[in-house]
Structures are given as structure tokens and as C-alpha cells.
Amino acid sequence: MDGVSQQDVQKYREDGYLVLEGFFSPEECDVLRERMSEIVEQMDVPVHCRTQFSTDHDEQLKTQGNADYFITSGDKVCFFFEKGVFNENGEFTVPKERSLNKIGHALHAHEPVFKSITHSPKVQNLAKKLGLIKPVVLQSMYIFKQPCIGGEVTPHQDATFLYTEPLGKVMGVWIALEDATLDNGCLWFIPGSHRNGITRRMVRTPKGSFPLTDFIGREQNYRDDLFVAAPVKKGGVVLIHGEVLHRSAENTSDASRNVYAFHIMDSENTCWSSENWLQPTEELPFPSLYT
């Protein structure tokens, strides 16, 4: 795919999301998947860090160790697991390559092949077409959506977790490394919902408190018939506005739905909230997308 049309830009602004088929080649996708297989093969996760992932963060915040592991993962490569893949002793009950929900949140900084895709000319040109002046990379993650056990992601807005003032400065870039279908858990969106602001924020609690994060406000209930499916072929990209409502169903199929996703923020005249769980560190300030 050579570029993004003005019609594409307009559709993204109207709907709050955009599907771009064929943005990356199958070979580019395979390089990321092969490197991830190596990372998984080599992973050695301490028992107390065997953290299950949930969009509500209910499981991962139950213990201090799990909470610390999550909230300090922004400048590291950390491992988050599906529910039910450990026994009471913290031992795997499934092959470890089938246990993971995602790996995040700094693949873009520590893994050269992921960094190369994140800062690729294709992505840089896309950001420029969308008018981003000083985009920085906030976080990145590899999402597995395992066959038969890949968990549901409930309706949410990314700005709940990645809050800026003003709103509208964050965008997710969601790269399908395999076909994302109705059967294996493709994304679903409510078109135009990015115009309504947000109703919930996840914030850090005062130092010394536990849990380490809490929610302000609450997620509303949304009619199922408002959601529109966004299946995409391997190599396609889905752009996700920070306030658009989206979800994905459980993967009950025999096919995985691997994705590499990252978030960028236009830092021009933007305030990144000090209450966000994710914070830049001395070791990893948010890097410029254009360098």
C-alpha cells in the first residue's frame, strides 16, 4: 500500500477508526511473529509476576506483586497471561506458548524488529497525512488472542487509560499479523462514538496506597446493535481514535489472532496526565515517532 488518501483521513475523522488493508506485507508480519516466538521460548517469568490480564484490571491488581509488575511495565518487556493457565502453585497448565494474553509495553524500544515497524516510513507518512506534528510512541504490545481461550475485551475507550488534555491526541495503530475474522475475535466499533468524550478514567492512587490504580467514573452500557465489525486481513492496519468505543469477543475458534499494536500521541500543545498508569521514565522517555 503506497499511501493514505484524503478520503481515508476523512473517514477516520468521521468514524473514529479506519481499516487499511495491505498496509504491511505478509513477510513483514512474519518477521514480527518469528521474533515473538523466540521471545516466548526464552521467557522466564517469576511466579509472583505471572499476571493475568483484564481490561478491568480486576485480576492483575489483586496482589501487590502483580500490581507493581503491571504499573512498572511501561519501559520494559513484560508478560501477561490468560485466565486459567496456571495451577495453584503458579505452574503452567497449558503449553507456555498458548498461555499468553499479551506482551508489553516497550517492545518498540527494546526489540529492533518491532522498533523498525513502529518507526517505519509507512507509519511516519501515515501520521503526517493525519496532521500529527510531534507524535511520540507511548506504549506497544503483542496481543495473542489464543485459539479457544483468547479472552473477551469488553467495550472501552483507550483514553480511559491514556488520558490527555485536551482529548483527541492519542491514536492506536493495530497491525493484524494474522487474519482477524468474526470467528477469532476481530475488533468491533461504534462509529462516531469518539465525539462523546469519556465517562471513565483509570488513575494512579496516592503513593503508598493499594491498589496502585483506581477508576474515576464508570463505563456505560452500550447496545450490541450499535457495534460494527472490522475484520482485516493479515498485513492490514486498524487506526483507533483514543475515544472511540471498541471491543472484541472471545476467540472460540481454532485459529489465533496475533496483533502488534502501539499507541502514539501528538505531543504538540498536549498535556500527558501525571495520573495515568503509564509514565515516561529516565530510562525510556516517550520517543519521537519521526526519529
Q: What is the pLDDT of residue 91?
A: 83
pLDDT at residue 57 in the model: 47
pLDDT at 23: 98
Strand 153-156, strand 246-248: pairing: antiparallel
Q: Compare 251 and 44 and report the one with higher pLDDT.
A: 251
Band of residue 180 on the pLDDT scale cut at 50, 70, 90: very high
Average pLDDT over residues 38-66: 66
Q: Which amino acid is at 98?
A: R
Band of residue 10 on the pLDDT scale cut at 50, 70, 90: very high
- Take residue 234 and report the three cell numbers written for it: 493479515
Structure confidence at residue 72 as a pLDDT band (50, 70, 90): very high
Cell readout for 226 is 450499535
Residues 18-29 have pLDDT tens digits of 999 999 999 999
* Averaged pLDDT of the chain: 92
Q: Residue with C-alpha cell 515497524? A: 117
C-alpha cell at 83: 485466565
| Confidence at residue 87, expressed as pLDDT on a 0 to 100 scale | 85
Return the pLDDT at 60: 41
The CATH number of 6-272 is 2.60.120.620
The residue whose grid cell reads 504499573 is 71
C-alpha distance from residue 222 to each of 37, 182, 195 (Å)? 37, 19, 15
Q: Where are the domains of the chain?
A: 6-272
Q: What is the pLDDT of residues 185-228, one digit of tens each?
A: 999 999 999 999 999 999 999 988 889 999 999 988 999 999 99
Place 78 in a pLDDT band, splitting at 50, 70 and 90: very high
Non-local CB neighbours of 269 within 8 Å, separated by 6+ positions: none
Give the Cα separation of 72 and 212 in Å (integer).
11
Supply the pLDDT for residue 51.
Answer: 56
pTM score: 0.93
**Is pLDDT above 90 for 8?**
yes
Q: How far is CA 62 from CA 48, 54, 163, 178, in A?
A: 12, 12, 24, 33
Whether pLDDT at 81 is above 80: yes
pLDDT at 61 over 60: no
| C-beta of residue 21 within 8 angstroms of C-beta of residue 233 | yes
For residue 17, what are the contacts with CB-CB under 8 A and spacing of at least 6?
187, 189, 191, 230, 238, 239, 240, 241, 244, 246
- Sorting pLDDT into bands at 50, 70 and 90, what band is 59? very low
